[in-house]
């Protein structure tokens, strides 16, 4: 539940100006019931000036009256149409100063390994500008020679879930447009965990590799009898008994 502005000061005002129970006030401002009791005893928030929630458009008098009449009633903030949607982050992502020097390396990684991402998606993911992304794509960045591609998740510029979500969104958009993706692009469009579990992509043999194992015997249409394999010793070893017969003929008168 949303909490009021200046919660402790609001609690001080409610303790001083209403008969609402400590439990109700604690639940409304997000404090512990004993802290609210300490405010009433003067032990907590000494010197804090009360903050009027009615004058500051956070509570209505009817809401306070309902809480005073019913100890089980829970105070609710007054709806403010001007504050609707303020929780949504506006503008580019904030990047700490200590990590801004690594941001070009993360952009180079995204451009290299996820070319399907648009400049707007990359800018929103790591908090950069489109001219910077364009200069890295065209390799006209002033420090391009010293840059190395580094995963933005490893640099802490974004979360893995955010990267996977934006990659899947790019895949769905490309599929809707009817684009034909290569095998490398399909591997890049899956999540990091799935990509690590995939087998390596088969490589096509060159003009020489793989041809030495091909022979006519591999042809399923025509089969030939395999010839016996002869080694060098078979040419020099004589049959048994041949040499002995020649010696006997020489000794015979």
Give the pLDDT confidence of 237-253 residue by residue, as tens digits.
655 554 444 454 544 54
pLDDT tens digits along 48-88: 888 888 888 888 889 899 989 998 888 888 776 555 554 45
d(CA 121, CA 239): 83
Residue predicted with more confidence, 189 or 142: 142
Mean pLDDT of the residues in the chain: 75
Residue 16's nearest CA partner among 42, 31, 218 is: 42
Predicted confidence band of residue 133 (pLDDT cuts 50, 70, 90): very high
Predicted confidence band of residue 106 (pLDDT cuts 50, 70, 90): very high
Tokens of 89: 């982050």
pLDDT tens digits along 201-220: 454 454 444 444 444 444 44
d(CA 68, CA 21): 8
CA distance readout (Å), 46 to 11, 23, 35, 50 = 12, 20, 12, 11
pTM: 0.39
pLDDT of residue 104: 92
Average pLDDT over residues 87-108: 73
Average pLDDT over residues 185-212: 50
How many residues make up the chain in this entry?
253
Residue 191 has pLDDT above 90, yes or no: no
d(CA 196, CA 107): 21
Neighbour-count burial of 124, counting CB atoms closer than 10 A to its CB (0-12 exposed, 13-18 middle, 19+ buried): middle
Predicted confidence band of residue 221 (pLDDT cuts 50, 70, 90): very low
Average pLDDT over residues 166-171: 88
- Spell out the residues 6+ positions from residue 240 whose beta carbon is closer than 8 angstroms to its own: none
**Is the sign of the CA dihedral 5, 8, 9, 13 positive or negative?**
positive
174: DSSP letter: H
pLDDT of residue 142: 92
């Amino acid at each position: 539940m949303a909490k009021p502005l200046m919660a402790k000061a609001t609690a001080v005002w409610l303790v001083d100006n209403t008969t609402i129970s400590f439990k109700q006030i604690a639940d409304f401002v997000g404090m512990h019931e004993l802290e609210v009791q300490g405010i009433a005893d003067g032990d907590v928030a000494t010197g804090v000036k009360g903050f009027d929630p009615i004058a500051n458009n956070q509570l209505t008098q009817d809401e306070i009256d309902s809480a005073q009449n019913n100890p089980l009633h829970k105070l609710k903030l007054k709806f403010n149409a001007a504050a609707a949607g303020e929780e949504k982050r506006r503008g580019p992502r904030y990047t700490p100063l200590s990590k801004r020097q690594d941001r070009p390396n993360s952009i180079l990684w995204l451009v290299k390994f996820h070319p399907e991402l648009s400049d707007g998606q990359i800018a929103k993911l790591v908090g950069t500008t489109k001219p910077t992304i364009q200069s890295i794509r065209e390799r006209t960045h002033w420090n391009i020679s010293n840059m190395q591609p580094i995963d933005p998740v490893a640099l802490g510029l974004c979360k893995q879930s955010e990267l996977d979500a934006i990659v899947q969104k790019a895949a769905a958009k490309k599929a809707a447009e009817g684009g034909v993706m290569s095998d490398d692009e399909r591997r890049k469009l899956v999540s990091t965990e799935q990509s690590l579990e995939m087998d390596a992509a088969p490589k096509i043999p060159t003009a020489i590799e793989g041809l030495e194992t091909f022979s006519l015997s591999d042809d399923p249409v025509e089969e030939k009898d395999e010839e016996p394999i002869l080694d060098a010793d078979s040419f020099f070893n004589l049959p048994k008994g041949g040499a002995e017969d020649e010696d006997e003929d020489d000794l015979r008168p």
